[in-house]
Amino acid sequence: MTILVTGGAGFIGSNFVLDWLAGSDEAVVNLDALTYAGNVHNLDSLRDNPRHIFVHGDIGDAALVGRLLAEHQPRAVLHFAAESHVDRSIHGPGAFVQTNIVGTFQLLEAIRTYWGALEPEAKAAFRLLHVSTDEVFGSLAKDAPAFTETHPYEPNSPYSASKAASDHLVRAYHHTYGLPVLTTNCSNNYGPLHFPEKLIPLMIVNAQAGKPLPVYGDGQQIRDWLYVKDHCSAIRCVLAHGRLGETYNVGGWNEMPNLDIVHTVCDLLDELKPRADGSSYRAQIAFVTDRPGHDRRYAIDANKIHRELGWRPAETFASGIRKTVQWYLDNPQWVAQVQSGAYRDWVAKQYAAG
């Protein structure tokens, strides 16, 4: 048996592929366009693994996707591929529309053609699992109930709007064509192999380099934090047991303000790799101008996936963040590889002190 993974060289996708091949005897066809956030080095440990078939290509290439489906006959497609950074979507929304909306449409069309021609038994067993985000739901007031699966979509950035559109397309293909789909909406992921433009890896990398630790506004934006390995286990659970056409929220039950996250990272670094001068990494925190339309709070109600499928995260934030910080300390070569000149230019532009 085989599965097809899109975006399997990205942060969540590569963690999923690594976990899947470690725990299953099924092969993975891994399709990734290797944009700035797709890093083939994430998959170095699979270089000699015959069950990992890497294909450099775009989900928007209908002919390529159709050819891969016909050749490998996957029993499932797991759709991770996306442009996913809010800040980048503000500066360049076109790429988000092209990948997240048009690319998802092209993928759906190719899958619909493939699925429609399958023999009855394979057709009944086939699944498309679409990986999405809690950001499609918009922003919550401080005391408002957490997002459930039935919360109205109110995206506030080009990124979240493009992901909302992709969710709607997936839903429409289920209801119109009968395509057997599952959708997950996750909270903020963190963990190994995370591209260092997102909050947690940026803080770890900048702290080690003696650079400022940029915090937007007052740092009181609240997010729910989900360890990436827990997210991967939730996806496996939904793929195996989820009800067709259903959406499942995946959260870590860890609501925390961004500033508290930064303080936690600093304190762990103080313990695990102290500064030479003996002072705390907290001294490097620098508040910068808040980004446009910055959502104040996200919170995921993940009771449905627990109630229906029995899934809960294995990691607490304390255990997950310690593992994450230690991974970055143990893997400086990976960090150096992803920090190209283009990445440094981006960070300098985005986090200019306000």
Residues catalogued as catalytic: 134-135, 159
DSSP for 194-209, please give it. --TTSHHHHHHHHHHT
| Inter-residue contact 227 to 191 (CB < 8 Å) | yes
Nearest to 10 by CA among 92, 81, 72: 81
Rg of the chain over CA atoms, in angstroms? 20
341: enclosing H helix or E strand: helix 341-350
Distance separating alpha carbons of residues 93 and 164, to the nearest angstrom? 14
Distance separating alpha carbons of residues 250 and 208, to the nearest angstrom? 31
Query: Phi and psi at residue 188, in whole multiples of 5°?
Result: -60, 120
Q: For residue 255, how many C-alpha atoms fall within 13 Å in the half-sphere facing its CB?
A: 17
Distance separating alpha carbons of residues 96 and 85, to the nearest angstrom? 9
| Inter-residue contact 59 to 35 (CB < 8 Å) | no
CA quadruple 238, 241, 242, 245: dihedral positive or negative?
Answer: positive
What tokens does 258 get?
């961004």
- Beta bridge partners, 101, equal none
User: How does strand 255-257 pair with strand 52-56?
Assistant: unpaired
Nearest to 135 by CA among 161, 169, 103: 161
Any residues with CB less than 8 A from the CB of 287 and at least 6 apart, and which? 214, 215, 216, 217, 218, 219, 354
**C-alpha separations of 64 from 46, 112, 118 in Å:** 23, 15, 18
Give burial (CB, 10 Å; 0-12/13-18/19+) of 2.
middle
